[in-house]
Amino acid sequence: MPPPVIYNWTGCYIGGNIGAGWDDTNQSRIATVAGTVVNPPQGFGTGNGYNVVGGGQIGCDYQFATNWVVGVQGMFDFGNIDESHVNISFPTFFDTSRVKDLFTVTGRLGYLLAPNLLGYAKAGGAWTRVDYSNFFTVPAVGLSETALGVDRQGWTAGFGVEWMFAPGWSVFGEFNYMDFGTRNIAFVAAPGTVNAASVLATKLTVDQAVLGVNYKFNWAQPLVAKF
């Protein structure tokens, strides 16, 4: 008979993933870049977008107390998540945003449901970059103002399941929530426009669901989870 397979979760790994991302953007005009305060703020509306995302991850895990696994991970996903919505205060305008790529650094804590099956939760920091644009539609569609390459920072939390189908090789599925809070963003007026550009309080959240594969470089002696 062949010897039993022994699974070891201690080590560093590298891998890739693919999935989907959804964003939720809410904007309100609170001032103009010329210094005029808008009180009460003017709601510019809410929009949702989604798109395919994909990228890679790298991290290290340590198996302890037989069935527990703790680790750190960095994950980067490419993808442009676009949304567009009608400006509720100025219905002849519409606003767009593009979330460009997502980067997270998280800690992870998991429990072995079986020697080769890990359930885990993760939390940490999140970063992205966003392009914002506002357009008018009368007398024709044209660019009104932009805020391009806006860096956003926030936090993330998620959960998932990872299955080691062969020593060193695993597949996983996970869901992550990212909250980038509310940031006051100063726009730049497009050439030829006459109105002062806006300062918008902009809230952003992103949901992400991915499937992926990891290859682990073990550095420790094999461990066997006991059940």
Q: How many angstroms separate the CA atoms of 210 and 213, rounded? A: 10
- pLDDT computed for residue 214 by the predictor: 97
Domains of the chain: 11-217 (2.40.160)
Radius of gyration of the chain (CA): 23
Q: Compute the average pLDDT of residues 10-29.
A: 97
Q: Compute the average pLDDT of residues 104-131.
A: 98
DSSP states along 167-204: TTEEEEEEEEEEEEEEEEEE-EEPTT--SPPEEEEEEE
Q: How many angstroms separate the CA atoms of 96 and 145, rounded? A: 11
Share of the chain above pLDDT 70, in %: 94
Cβ pair 64, 58 in contact under 8 A: no
Q: How many beta carbons lie within 10 A of that of residue 65, not counting itself?
A: 8
Which region holds residue 66: left if phi is over 0, alpha if psi is between -120 and 50, else beta?
A: left
Q: Are strands 11-32 and 117-136 parallel, antiparallel or unpaired?
A: unpaired
Q: Compute the average pLDDT of residues 163-186.
A: 96
